[in-house]
Structure 1
Amino acid sequence: MNATTVNYNWHEANERYLLAALGMVRDAIETYAHKTQSSTSSAQQQKQQTIETATADMTAPPLLERVCQLFGLSEFERDILLMCACMEFYGDFAALCGLAQGDTQKTYPTLSLALAALPNPHWDAIAPDAKLRYWRLIELGEGRALTLSPLRIDERILHYLVGRQYIDERLAGIVEPIPEARELVPSQQQLAQQIAAVWMQSSQTEKLPILQLCGIEPISKRAIASTVCKILGVNLHIMPVQVVPSAPAEMETLLRLWERESILSNSALLIDCDKIDITDLTRTHTIGRFLERINGLVFVTSRERIAIQQRPIVSFNIHKPTIEEQSLLWQSNLAQIQPQLNGQVRKLATQFNLSPNTIRAACAEALGQLTGEKEQDIGQILWDACRKQARPHLDELAQRIPPTATWEDLVLPPAQAEMLREIAAHVRQRATVYQNWGFAAKNTRGLGISALFAGSSGTGKTLAAEVLAQELHLDLYRIDLSSVVSKYIGETEKNLRRVFDAAEEGGVILLFDEADALFGKRSEVKDSHDRYANIEVSYLLQRMESYPGLAIMTTNLKSSIDTAFQRRIRFAVQFPFPDAAQRAEIWRRVYPTNTPTNGLDAKKLSQLSVAGGNIRNIALNAAFLAADADEPVQMKHLLRAARTEYAKLEKSLTEAEIGGWV
């Protein structure tokens, strides 16, 4: 006999059991209505025989008995529930209720009727804290008196009794099932076993501890929670914390409905707090009250720990798979092109810190681009797929700058150019030095690659960051520190934390512009604001030191940054104001090869005492003037553009700068 047949037989036997139980309660009401003595007729005996036969045919208890066991119903409470269900199964039961109560208007079950007609009655069966009403198995309508008020079975319970499983419609859109997760990597599987053991060891306690899963990766946390539930043999549902009401009555309703649902469906609940702002005290207070009152198996996922007072809570930090585990994931998902990878997997795993789902998505994207008809750089396709997968988390927090500049576009003194190449080498070889050569195992501090670019506006700081991004094939994100810094205590660190957490997945280059907004000579603490400013600076430096990528800060004035802070930065590059020879070189390289020019003199143009950024502005404006006149770019166009740029700078052109141009 297959599983489908067994399942069908059980449902058929459950239906026979329920109908027989309903029939016995109906007989009791009918006996009372006709004022006859309780009968032991063949009909009653036949119903009892049906119940016994159906029970014998079932591999699990009938759902009526399961409800009684789950909610601790007495025999009388069970019969009240069945009396209410009779209204849904028998078309003439309403008239029978009216007859039994001596009033044709009372065509509904009441406590008065139950007390008079059903065996083993007790008055408190429908008290507010009694099982039937506490668990909302029945609904109490309006009436002149409690005993005369209409009683009705809850729809979710009615469908449950007949074997129809669904989530309560009042929870639809609030609570949703989480499908079973794919197999976890070994480190996460081991953690899931450890988490499951906490609940198994606490199963005898009055109130189970809440399990809090902390970290920045929501998908991994859900996968681990799903695996824990699989180990324990329960289902898992998720509820976004934003739907938790603050009004006490609404919160009580939600709590009661979920607790009942968790019992009926044998489910745990995952409360998703990943997007909450823990500095919002009103919201966190509401969440705390909800967590302290909810019963059953409960997970909480959040970026940081949430503290509650009245209930035990056990926290676990959830991390992405190790480099070795990520390498195995790459290999298993790229098995069909394994011979062509040529060592690319290790490179991907050391550069990008991705979750299993993101790795699978990157592999699917890359494999979709590969064709067997033309030669393709598989390594570059995989690399670019990883960059795209890592972008969404950071795009909403910072400005992505598509790098187009190359070393040819950068004009710097040899010492500064050499230092930039050293920075590129550190980023490119960090996996070799830190992992393969063991530096990371020897000392975990200061593994981040940090740089300070100092120089006046237009001297090439941002351009240099673009060149590094182009050289390393990494995304470049600009973060304006003046917009990140907040006057509210804790807000600056929160903003920085979000940026670094999102950036770590793709190992992008972070460019923190306007560092003067946060840094400064703040070693001397004069008031609480200065003390807190030092905390903000220390937090940024600490994250830069641990960031597994390149973090660059820019400043217009290096001396404005305290030397104590400068010592914690690995590279400091001074971008000098270009001299005449450097300005001439910038002018020679400023125009693309497709731009038509005529008679441009780089030596004369270098007489303009402006930085590289201003030179590019002048060159671009001159190109538009020439294009509008349908002419190649000439010195006359550059002269007009220079006047415009100097007016913007509130400076005057001197004869020494433009003498002999036209």
Structure 2
Amino acid sequence: MAIPALPTWYHANLQYLLTSLNPIRQALAARITHIQNQPVPIFSETKLAPEALAVLHHTPSALDQLCNIFKLSFFERNILLLCIGRELDPNFEQLCAQAQGSLERNYPTLGLALSIFQDTSLRILSSQTPLQFWKLIEIEPSRTLTQSPLKINQRILCYIVGEPCLDDELAGILKEYQLETNGSSSLPPSHQKIAEQLIATWSQSRQTGKMPVVQLCGSEIVTKYAIASTASAHLSFKLFVISAAILPANPNELNSLMQNCWREAILSNSAILLDCDDINLADSSREFAIFQFIEGLNIPLIISTQERQRQCQRLTLVFDVNQPTHSEQRDIWQSHLGSVAAQLNGHIDRLVSQFNLSTTTIQAACLSLNHAELANQTSLEEKITELEETSSPPSRNRKSKTTNPPPPTEASPSPLFNHLWEFCRTQSRPRLEDLAQRVEAIATWDNLVLPEQQKNVLRNISIHVRQRAKVYQEWGFAGKEAKGLGISALFSGASGTGKTMAAEVLAKELRLDLYRIDLSAVVSKYIGETEKNLRRIFDAAETGGAILLFDEADALFGKRTQVKDSHDRHANVEVSYLLQRMEAYQGLAILTTNLKESLDQAFLRRIRFSIKFPFPDGSARVQIWQRIFPERTPTKKLDFNKLGNLNVAGGNIRNIALNAAFAAAEAGEPVMMKHILQAAEAECVKLERSLTDVEIRGWV
């Protein structure tokens, strides 16, 4: 004999709910009998099958769970059922009308509940009772509270009947976050440790009932979400995300939203992540809304911020979420590349050393390669070239597909490595639009006219950047010296002597992005703002190890004076902070100045390389003139030796050559000495000086 299958929890729950309406019908019928002085026929009642009872013995009904969660009294439970009855049983409207002696009042009211149920309490009129505080029922406005129509909240009704849904007021505001594992759900050990601390904190707090706020600080939003999601999943929590940008400033609207979020977290057994990553905390109304939201919710709550922020009075546990460690990143690369890693000729360490990437970015880099197609390609070079063209941004200069080769090392990098390098470089570009300008590095060593001594120092800088992984990691110098591992340089010299071009040459050779930061725009008169701007720059650039060129450093270093007041003291703090970040920066940071002699020797000792860019002499100027015109520029009878007599810097020579080219193009002629003379006169007007006879003798 076959044993009949037990009903599902959904069907057993619904049967239990309908059965629970029987006493409510009986109470209404008794009231009607009392009013009309005659018995009222009882409608057919639902009975709970033994099989359903067995199912609910293991997992209680949603009604009982709700009453237990919100600690409803028996009277409040009956009021809830009275409202549910009207929604599920078409006969309830007639019963309500008869029980209240009015055909128009065919709905539940508090007055009706007080008249038909036992163990009633006038405390139900208070807004602090669970029914009203948690908005389990809605009380429509009326002349008196006891005669106001009652209606069960839609979210609560769906919960009780076992239909999952989100409150309409939270739709589009509260979003469930589920971690996309892409076949691998594990966090790197350093991030797993944070998740485990979060799990332990929540587990302990569930016993005490007091939930501390957890703050995850860092620039990698996806990583913070992954940690929060991992911890939530371990405790069988859902994870909902809400942006702090949409918190209403109106106190009443904010309170309503908070109540709905709190109730939802309880009903769905969820944690909430408040995303403050892109919030301007200088907005006082926004800061107040965040403060109120955090203080008002006693639930598993996570705050995601870029930096540490003291945003509440509640107990707050702060975790700094950094990128995976170098060894973890190496393992992630190896894991996701699989057998393809062998084609990198051992250069994974170079990727790890240069690009400080998150797990998801490394995964994306590996997925950008079609492993199956790469394995079947007869020409790997052609495949990589195709991949580069599809992954690089449209603005990228691709005149030659073989330009910018990586510097030679012990083992020549493979085309596969070249593709990954370019992918990582473009993906890790920082968002510094308001503080920095990305410079397209075009200049090469051939364009740079400098004494050999200065060129050798530049080559040495390139070697330090390129071999950093081997010296610091493989050879152990990172453990020998905890600080000062950043590569910093000072380029000093008059304007136009080649400081920016030298930075371009390094960026092109090293195949790194170059960002020019005008320190005069970064420095602020407001105390603390300069450091904040510098922090933004370094934090944003850290991922890709871009070359940072701090132009016009005199704007900051020139403020150093004897300490006479708080502003002088803070100026020195700003300089110290910049040098501190340069020493710790994973990339190359360059300062340029026109006034090296004004710099404090104590600061100079903290900079690894220092290059003096001399004003070009006659021989150097001749070389600059010989290289200044592109090959396709038509020229005629240019005497570079005579042009070298013009006593201006390389930057001025470039301006003169460019203006001469425009003049020649307008005249429909090749560039000749007369055009250069015309352009030189205009440049000297800008320099507030005159051309001398010696400088232009024999030009025309």
TM-score, length of structure 2 as denominator length: 0.89
1:372 matches 2:377: yes
* Contact kept in structure 2, 1:454 and 1:555, CA below 8 Å: yes
Shift of 1:53: 4.7
1:221 and 2:235 aligned: no
Give the structure 2 partner of residue 574 of structure 1: 612
The match for 1:311 among 309, 314, 320 is 314
Structure 1 residue identity aligned to 2:55: D
* Stretch moving more, 400-409 or 143-152: 143-152
How far 1:467 moved relative to its partner?
0.3
- Secondary structure of the 1:50 match is coil
User: How far is the alpha carbon of 1:334 from its aligned partner?
Assistant: 1.8
C-alpha deviation, 1:41, in angstroms: 10
Q: 1:84-103, aligned counterparts within 5 Å?
A: 84-103=83-102
Measure how far apart 1:373 and its partner are: 4.3
Q: 1:469 aligns with which of 487, 507, 525?
A: 507
Aligned to 1:192: 195
1:242 corresponds to which letter in structure 2?
A: A
Equivalent pair of 2:435/2:521 in contact (CA under 8 Å): no
- Deviation for aligned residue 1:484: 0.8
Q: Which amino acid aligns with 2:477?
A: F
Q: Which of 263, 266, 273 is matched with 1:263 structurally?
A: 266
1:490-548 Cα deviation digits (max 9, x unpaired): 11111111110010000000001111111126141122111111111111111001001
- Which secondary structure does the structure 2 equivalent of 1:316 belong to? strand
**Aligned alpha-carbon RMSD (Å):** 2.3
Query: Deviation at 1:624?
Result: 2.3
Moved more, 517-526 or 449-458: 517-526
Instruction: Select the residue among 53, 56, 70 that pairs with 1:55.
Output: 53
Residue by residue over 1:34-76, the C-alpha shift from the partner in whole angstroms, topping out at 9 and shown as x without a partner, is 33899999978x63x4166523234411111111111111121
Q: Which residue does the alignment assign to 2:69?
A: 70
> CA distance change for structure 1 residues 308 and 629 in 2, over 3 Å: closer, same or farther?
closer
Q: Is 1:511–2:549 an aligned residue pair?
A: yes
Residues 1:37 and 1:211: Cα distance change in structure 2 (over 3 Å): farther
1:629 is aligned to 2:667: yes
Would the alpha carbon gap of residues 541 and 278 (structure 1) be closer, same or farther in structure 2, given more than 3 Å must change? farther
Q: Which residue of 2 aligns with 1:16?
A: 15
Does the 8 Å CA contact 1:181/1:227 hold for their aligned counterparts?
no
Q: Residues 414 and 511 from structure 1, CA distance in 2 versus in 1: closer, same or farther, beyond 3 angstroms? A: same
Instruction: Give yes or no for contact 2:330–2:348 (8 Å, CA) kept in 1.
Output: yes
Percent identity over the alignment is 52
AA aligned opposite 2:377? G
- Tell me how far 1:643 sits from its aligned partner: 1.7
Q: Structure 1 CA distance, aligned partners of 2:50 and 2:74?
A: 17
- 1:286 and 1:128 mapped to 2: Cα distance? 23
Amino acid at match of 2:79: I
Corresponding residue to 1:651 among 657, 682, 689 = 689
- Report if the CA contact (8 A) 2:249-2:285 is conserved: no
CA distance in 1 between partners of 2:652 and 2:592 (Å): 18
Output the CA distance in 2 between the equivalents of 1:332 and 1:520.
50
After the TM superposition, which residues 207-218 of structure 1 pair with which residues of structure 2 at under 5 Å, given as runs? 207-218=210-221
1:28 and 2:64 matched = no
Give 3-state SS (helix, strand or coil) of 1:502's partner: helix
- Counterparts in 2 of 1:348-367, with a 5 A limit? 348-367=351-370
Q: What is the deviation of 1:649?
A: 2.0
Residue in 2 that maps onto 1:115: 114
Q: Deviations over 1:178-197 (max 9, x none)?
A: 11353211221122112211
Code of the aligned partner of 2:158: H
CA drift at 1:231: 1.4
**Deviation of residue 482 (structure 1)?**
0.8
Shift in Å, 1:366: 4.4
Q: Which residue of 2 aligns with 1:642?
A: 680
Cα separation, 1, equivalents of 2:513 and 2:695: 39
Which residue number corresponds to residue 394 of structure 2? none
Deviating more after overlay: 463-472 vs 74-83: 74-83
Q: How much does 1:397 deviate?
A: 4.1
Unpaired stretches in structure 1, ≥5 consecutive residues: none
What's the counterpart of residue 230 of structure 1?
233
Alignment of 1:112-261 (within 5 A): 112-180=111-179, 182=181, 183-261=186-264
Q: 1:52 to 1:253 in 2, by over 3 A?
A: farther
Amino acid at match of 1:32: R
Q: Cα–Cα, structure 1 residues 555 and 599, in superposed 2: closer, same or farther, change >3 Å?
A: same
- Tell me how far 1:393 sits from its aligned partner: 3.0
Q: Deviations over 1:569-609 (max 9, x none)?
A: 11111111100010001111112222222211111000111
CA distance in 2, matches of 1:63, 1:70: 10
Q: Displacement, 1:278?
A: 4.5
- More divergent stretch after superposition (358-367 vs 638-647): 358-367
User: Is contact 2:272-2:301 (8 Å) kept?
Assistant: yes
Q: Which is further off, 439-448 or 634-643?
A: 634-643
1:406 to 444, 454, 458: 444
For 1:463-542, list aligned pairs within 5 A: 463-520=501-558, 522-542=560-580
CA distance in 1, matches of 2:530, 2:192: 36
Give the letter aligned to residue 451 of structure 2: P
72-81 or 503-512, which moves further after superposition? Answer: 72-81
Q: Number of paired residues?
A: 655
Secondary structure of the structure 1 residue equivalent to 2:206: coil
CA distance in 1 between counterparts of 2:38 and 2:20 reads 16
1:283 to partner: Cα distance: 3.8
Comparing 66-75 and 34-43, the one that deviates more:
34-43
What SS is found at the alignment partner of 2:274?
A: strand
Please give the secondary structure, in 2, of the residue aligned with 1:18.
Answer: helix
2:437 and 2:517 in contact (8 A); partners too: yes
2:464 to 394, 417, 426: 426
Q: Distance in 2 between matches of 1:105 and 1:395?
A: 65
Greater CA drift, 294-303 or 22-31: 22-31
What amino acid is aligned across from residue 104 of structure 1 in structure 2?
L
Counterpart residue number, 1:330: 333
Distance in 2 of aligned mates of 1:65 and 1:512: 66
Q: What secondary structure, in the 3-state scheme, does the structure 2 residue paired with 1:494 have?
A: helix
2:280 aligned with 1:272, yes or no?
A: no
Kept after mapping to 2: 8 A contact 1:63/1:163? yes
Structure 2 distance, partners of 1:398, 1:22, is 68
| CA spacing shift, 1:601–1:308, aligned 2, 3 Å | closer
Provide closer, same or farther for how the CA distance between residues 308 and 468 of structure 1 changes in structure 2, counting only shifts above 3 A: closer
1:289 matched to which residue of 2? 292
Structure 1 residue 564 displacement after superposition: 2.5
> Equivalent residue of 2:21, what SS?
helix
CA contact (8 A) 2:26 2:42 kept: no
> C-alpha separation between the residues in 1 aligned to 2:123 and 2:51?
33
CA distance in 2, matches of 1:633, 1:590: 12
**2:342 paired residue among 315, 339, 343:** 339
Q: 2:490 aligns with which of 428, 452, 458?
A: 452
Aligned-residue offset at 1:122: 2.2
In the aligned structure 2, how far is the partner of 1:335 from the partner of 1:396?
A: 40
Inter-partner Cα distance in structure 1 for 2:280 and 2:307: 10
Shift of 1:287: 2.4
Question: Would the aligned equivalents of 1:55 and 1:61 in 2 still touch at CA under 8 Å?
Answer: no
1:545 aligns with 2:583: yes
Of stretches 513-522 and 219-228 in structure 1, the one that deviates more from structure 2 is: 513-522
Aligned letter for 1:325? E
Quick check: 2:660–2:678 contact (8 Å CA) kept in 1? yes
Deviations 1:125-159 (A, max 9, x none): 34211110011000112222221111111111111
